[in-house]
């Protein structure tokens, strides 16, 4: 699993009794904390934590959503936390966390199903539509840089090969397949299909899991777990540099959250962040969110990536920049099928399920 950036491109539990004593956020309290972010950006993390820990007692209207976008610098994590809180408000029965014994069962069943799915993954091809953008870190004001269309071939051995089909609508002539789409320059990523989930759940990773809340993902009841994997076990590679540039790489750990289907014991969503990045390494943060959904390949259903959001931050002189790759996976087909450019590839890449 690799994250590559062109440097110049721009199981512990919460105390249930303590949680029960905290009242949900009122609308007035939420708005007050939202406005505080503009004066003290660091309070954004406190608001996100409060949304996830306490929930809300008010209806999330379009007005509240608009205010969240404007006062919260259009921060995606904040927007997701608000929507999660709204779903829990609408379905309070689903908020109850599983018992410690149930948690152990959920993790072990998910581990078993995830690793079985890795072994049973077929050879396939898929099209990636990738919108790349950049911003000053923390502002959320991303400026579109380019749009790529990439053909990916996946082999059951775990090998991934990438072929750049177009850049900003211009057809690319190179037929050479590579380990990533780094020939386009800028930020690229790999490992969305099985590598990340395998790293989290394989026994030798010694991942630590902690249940934090429940949620609905596309109508499915899920339990959300925090997780962490140490650097010497995760061995996630982050690379700074690109074609024709000085390249540096480092190995990191990872932490984040997984949304586990409470009935099917499959991961429907994962948020991951690189940890233990060495001081002085050009890339300061590397985060990725992947949403999974069921798709059919050769009349069989598989749980595969739907959308991935990859973000890297790095310092350039006195400024800190953030790059974003919003990746949509489309046209999953059996291996050997030709991936072609279509009219849909001229449309902007958007978040969420189509």
Q: What is the pLDDT of residues 257-287, one digit of tens each?
A: 999 999 999 999 999 999 999 998 989 999 9
Q: Judge if 204 and 282 occupy the same domain.
A: yes
Burial class (CB in 10 A: 0-12, 13-18, 19+), 347: exposed
Q: Tell me the percentage of the chain whose pLDDT exceeds 90.
A: 53
The whole-number pLDDT of residue 216 equals: 81
Name the pairing type of β-strands 170-171 and 160-167.
antiparallel
The secondary structure of 163-181 as a DSSP string is EEEEETTEEP-----BSSS
The whole-number pLDDT of residue 332 equals: 94
Q: What is the pLDDT of residues 233-255, one digit of tens each?
A: 999 988 886 555 667 889 999 99
Q: What is the pLDDT of residues 189-210, one digit of tens each?
A: 777 888 899 999 999 999 999 9
The whole-number pLDDT of residue 187 equals: 74
Average pLDDT over residues 152-177: 82
The whole-number pLDDT of residue 21 equals: 55
**Domain-located, residue 109:** no
Supply 79's token pair: 């927007």
For residues 274 and 285, is the Cβ–Cβ distance under 8 A? yes
For residues 52 and 213, is the Cβ–Cβ distance under 8 A? yes
**Domain-located, residue 353:** no
For residues 117 and 109, is the Cβ–Cβ distance under 8 A? no
CA 283 – CA 276 distance, rounded (Å)? 12
The secondary structure of 191-240 as a DSSP string is -TTTHHHHHHHSGGG--EEEEEEEEEETTEEEEEEEEEE-HHHH-EEEEE
Highest-pLDDT range among 51-60, 80-89, 343-352: 51-60
Q: Judge if 34 and 179 occupy the same domain.
A: no
**Domain-located, residue 99:** no
Q: What is the pLDDT of residues 32-43, one digit of tens each?
A: 999 999 888 889
The whole-number pLDDT of residue 329 equals: 94
Neighbouring residues of 66: CB distance < 8 A, sequence distance ≥ 6: none
Structural domain harbouring 21: 16-92
Q: Based on the structure, what is the number of domains in the chain?
A: 2
Residue 179 has pLDDT above 90, yes or no: no
The whole-number pLDDT of residue 73 equals: 84
Q: Judge if 169 and 307 occupy the same domain.
A: yes
**Domain-located, residue 110:** no
**Domain-located, residue 290:** yes
The whole-number pLDDT of residue 36 equals: 94
Q: Judge if 195 and 298 occupy the same domain.
A: yes
Q: Judge if 171 and 289 occupy the same domain.
A: yes
Window from 170-184, 279-293, 336-350 with minimum mean pLDDT: 170-184
**Domain-located, residue 143:** yes
Neighbouring residues of 164: CB distance < 8 A, sequence distance ≥ 6: 148, 149, 150, 172, 174, 181, 183, 184
**Domain-located, residue 271:** yes
């Amino acid at each position: 699993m690799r994250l590559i950036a062109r440097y110049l491109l721009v199981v512990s539990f919460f105390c249930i009794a303590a949680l029960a004593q905290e009242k949900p956020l009122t609308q007035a309290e939420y708005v007050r904390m939202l406005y505080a972010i503009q004066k003290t950006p660091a309070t954004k993390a406190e608001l996100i934590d409060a949304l996830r820990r306490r929930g809300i007692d008010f209806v999330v209207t379009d007005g509240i959503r608009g205010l969240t976008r404007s006062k919260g610098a259009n921060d995606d994590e904040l927007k997701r936390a608000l929507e999660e809180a709204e779903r829990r408000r609408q379905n309070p029965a689903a908020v109850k966390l599983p018992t410690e014994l149930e948690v152990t069962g959920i993790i072990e069943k998910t581990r078993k199903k995830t690793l079985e799915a890795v072994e049973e993954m077929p050879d396939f091809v898929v099209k990636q539509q990738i919108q790349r953008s950049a911003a000053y870190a923390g502002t959320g004001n991303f400026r579109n840089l380019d749009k790529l269309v990439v053909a990916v071939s996946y082999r059951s051995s775990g090998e991934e090969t990438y072929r750049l089909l177009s850049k900003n609508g211009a057809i690319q002539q190179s037929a050479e397949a590579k380990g990533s789409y780094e020939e386009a320059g800028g930020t690229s990523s790999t490992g969305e299909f099985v590598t990340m989930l395998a790293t989290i759940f394989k026994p030798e990773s010694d991942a630590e899991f902690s249940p934090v809340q429940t949620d609905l993902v596309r109508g499915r009841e899920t339990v959300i777990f925090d997780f962490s994997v140490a650097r010497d076990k995760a061995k996630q590679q982050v690379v700074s540099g690109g074609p024709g540039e000085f390249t540096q790489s480092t190995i990191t750990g990872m932490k984040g959250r997984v949304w586990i289907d409470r009935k099917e014991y499959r991961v429907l969503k994962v948020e991951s962040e690189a940890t233990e990045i060495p001081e002085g390494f050009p890339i300061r943060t590397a985060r990725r969110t992947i949403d999974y959904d069921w798709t059919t390949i050769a009349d069989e259903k598989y749980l595969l990536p739907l959308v991935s959001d990859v973000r890297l931050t790095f310092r350039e002189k006195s400024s800190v920049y953030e790059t974003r790759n919003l990746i949509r996976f489309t046209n999953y087909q059996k291996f050997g099928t030709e991936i072609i450019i279509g009219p849909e590839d001229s449309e902007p890449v958007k978040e969420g399920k189509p």
